[in-house]
Amino acid sequence: MKAHDGMYIDGAWRPAHGPDTIDVVNPADEQVIGRVPAGSALDVDAAVRAARAALPGWAATPPAERAARLGALRDVLVARKDEIAGTVTAELGSPLKFSQAVHAAVPIAVAGSYAELAATHAFEEKVGTSVVHHEPVGVVGAITPWNYPLHQIVAKVAPALAAGCTIVLKPAEDTPLTAQLFAEAVHEAGVPAGVFNLVTGLGPVAGQALAEHPGVDMVSFTGSTAVGRRIGAAAGAAVKRVALELGGKSANVILPSADLAKAVNVGVANVMSNSGQTCSAWTRMLVHRDQYDEAVSLAAEAAAKYGDRIGPVVNAKQRDRVRGYIDKGVAEGARLVAGGPEAPREQGYFVSPTVFADVTEEMTIAQEEIFGPVLSVLRYEDEEDALRIANGTVYGLAGAVWAGDEAEAVAFARRMDTGQVDVNGGRFNPLAPFGGYKQSGVGRELGTHGLAEYLQTKSLQF
Ligand code: NAP
Ligand code: MG
């Protein structure tokens, strides 16, 4: 696997200031597949200076030209999609088919959507006697996680570029090769030097230095609620714009009129895909008491089918954390109906697809984000009870509702405290705003709402 031994700063790969490196490990076989530099505050400073220097030029570039660069970026991603899928599989461990269909394809769609939006968005509007200009926020510090390594980068970089912002990216330490490949793609697309910069490194070192740098006007963070809270606090103290995409504990509510088998099967697939490492995964399945036993056996059966197909989780720490939650579920009295804490293979960071029945709302596994292939099935008495349980966590990122009648499902979805709801298995829409209610975050990504995050207004009165 190709690895750069430098940082992409001001349009070229430059040596890091310090000697520290990060080993990149393939979680499927625990082999080291590459080594990248672990950046320091000095590297972050060099990258932020480059981004600041490039800002006036890029901000003044006509939107049509920014759109052309984004279109070129999309085309490079298309041309290199197999390499992207292979790289994500090597460093994240997801099965190659999933890497192709999701990890490579979704960022292509999102980059394409911003090529179009940059060309068509109204960066100027008339409000009475005023003209309102939508101008770039400035230099963006982007910090991303490993679970959808390219999607999370593109969901920040593409709208920031479309808006006229310049960027410094600190990707997750577990998936830096995908980020390096993306930097190559930006370069190939002809984006001017300094507009996009990459500093690989550790969160508490490079990430923190980026979030706290006075030359950064906005921090856009995706990751855990614990780190997001700190980044939000630091941004607040510095009066900086901040966007936070954090954790989730989404509910999949199956109303009695729904097609039960379909709702359960799609629900299990949703939780098991990407080995459960999806912030918006529907990790709590809510079923009416009269259908509960049937739903539990359907879920157990569906999960067992994933046994051989599921990839590993990203690293040993994550595997231990997920297995710790499974132990806790057993200890708190939930009933294991599929999987369990035992390692299914000798090598690699694998966790068995796991389903718990008899989960009650106050249990740890029903409240905390596990970020592994673990589904909890909860029983509800009536619709009000289902709504209370669905809304009964600190999170509000996503969710699902199933009903025989679409209007019935929509009525329920409107009462959920969450940023996205899939109705009867609705498909992912790369233009729909994505982001959290409550502690799942601040701000929205994707589409015009995602673009607006990177713009500020200036009103001229006449
Ligand atoms: P994390 O530890 O919060 O890491 C996310 C990013 O922040 C990584 O690049 C990380 O660097 C960096 N970081 C860590 N500590 C930092 C600090 N003190 N200052 C600045 N940056 C810091 O999260 P994770 O464990 O990698 O990812 C899983 C979590 O992300 C889950 O909770 C999941 O729900 C959430 N997530 C949310 C969304 C969403 O859109 N809402 C999407 C994906 C994931 P290192 O890589 O070096 O740790
Ligand atoms: Mg981390």
266: domain CATH number? 3.40.309.10
Clarify whether residues 78 and 164 are in a common domain: yes
Clarify whether residues 422 and 318 are in a common domain: yes
Clarify whether residues 224 and 271 are in a common domain: no
| Cα 208 to middle of ligand 2, angstroms | 12
Q: Categorize the per-residue pLDDT at 150 as very low, low, confident or very high, splitting at 50, 70 and 90.
A: very high
Question: If you average pLDDT over residues 169-175, what whole number do you get?
Answer: 98
Residue 1 lies in a domain: no
Clarify whether residues 189 and 335 are in a common domain: no
Question: Does residue 107's CB lie within 6 angstroms of at least one atom of ligand 1?
Answer: no
Residue 279 lies in a domain: yes
**Which of 170, 216, 279 to mutate for ligand 1's pocket (most ligand atoms within 8 Å of CB)?**
279
Closest listed residue to residue 113, CA positions, set 150, 166, 74, 63: 74
| Cα 287 to middle of ligand 1, angstroms | 32
Residue 440: the pLDDT is 97
Question: Does residue 22's CB lie within 6 angstroms of at least one atom of ligand 1?
Answer: no
Residue 444: the pLDDT is 98
Q: Residue 228 above 90 pLDDT?
A: yes
**What ligand has the least distance to the C-alpha of 171?**
1
Clarify whether residues 236 and 264 are in a common domain: no
Q: Determine which residue's CA is closest to atom 36 belonging to ligand 1.
A: 223
Residue 343: the pLDDT is 87
Residue 110 lies in a domain: yes
CATH number assigned to the domain comprising residue 183: 3.40.605.10
Which residues are CB-contacts of 377 (< 8 A; sequence separation ≥ 6)?
Answer: 285, 287, 292, 295, 296, 299, 355, 356, 357, 359
Q: Residue 309 above 90 pLDDT?
A: no
Residue 273 lies in a domain: yes
Clarify whether residues 447 and 409 are in a common domain: no
| CB-based contact 108:186 (threshold 8 Å) | no
Q: How many independent structural domains does the chain possess?
A: 2
Average pLDDT, the chain: 97
Clarify whether residues 18 and 82 are in a common domain: yes
Clarify whether residues 180 and 276 are in a common domain: no
Question: If you average pLDDT over residues 356-385, what whole number do you get?
Answer: 98
Residue 29 lies in a domain: yes
Question: Does residue 333's CB lie within 6 angstroms of at least one atom of ligand 1?
Answer: no
| Cα 280 to middle of ligand 2, angstroms | 18
Please list, residue by residue across 170-188, b when 16 or more beta carbons sit within 10 angstroms of its beta carbon and e when fewer do.
bbbbbbbbbbbbbbbbbbe
Clarify whether residues 398 and 456 are in a common domain: no
**Which of 94, 222, 240 to mutate for ligand 1's pocket (most ligand atoms within 8 Å of CB)?**
222
Closest listed residue to residue 318, CA positions, set 350, 279, 347, 346: 350
Domain that holds residue 335: 251-430
Helix, strand and coil content of the chain, in percent to the nearest 5, comes to 45, 20, 35
Question: Does residue 443's CB lie within 6 angstroms of at least one atom of ligand 1?
Answer: no
Residue 142: the pLDDT is 98
Question: If you average pLDDT over residues 173-187, what whole number do you get?
Answer: 98
Question: Does residue 276's CB lie within 6 angstroms of at least one atom of ligand 1?
Answer: no
Q: Residue 307 above 90 pLDDT?
A: no
Clarify whether residues 425 and 276 are in a common domain: yes
Clarify whether residues 218 and 122 are in a common domain: yes
Rounded CA gap, 360 and 7, in Å? 48
Known catalytic residues are 245, 279
Residue 51 lies in a domain: yes
Rounded CA gap, 47 and 53, in Å? 10
| Cα 246 to middle of ligand 1, angstroms | 8
Residue 226 lies in a domain: yes
Report the atom number in ligand 1 closest to the C-alpha of 146. Answer: 26
Q: Determine which residue's CA is closest to atom 45 belonging to ligand 1.
A: 203
Q: Categorize the per-residue pLDDT at 239 as very low, low, confident or very high, splitting at 50, 70 and 90.
A: very high
Rounded CA gap, 133 and 379, in Å? 52
Question: Does residue 245's CB lie within 6 angstroms of at least one atom of ligand 1?
Answer: yes
Clarify whether residues 156 and 215 are in a common domain: yes
Our measurement of the distance from residue 203's CA atom to the centroid of its chain's CA atoms, rounded to an integer in Å, reads 16
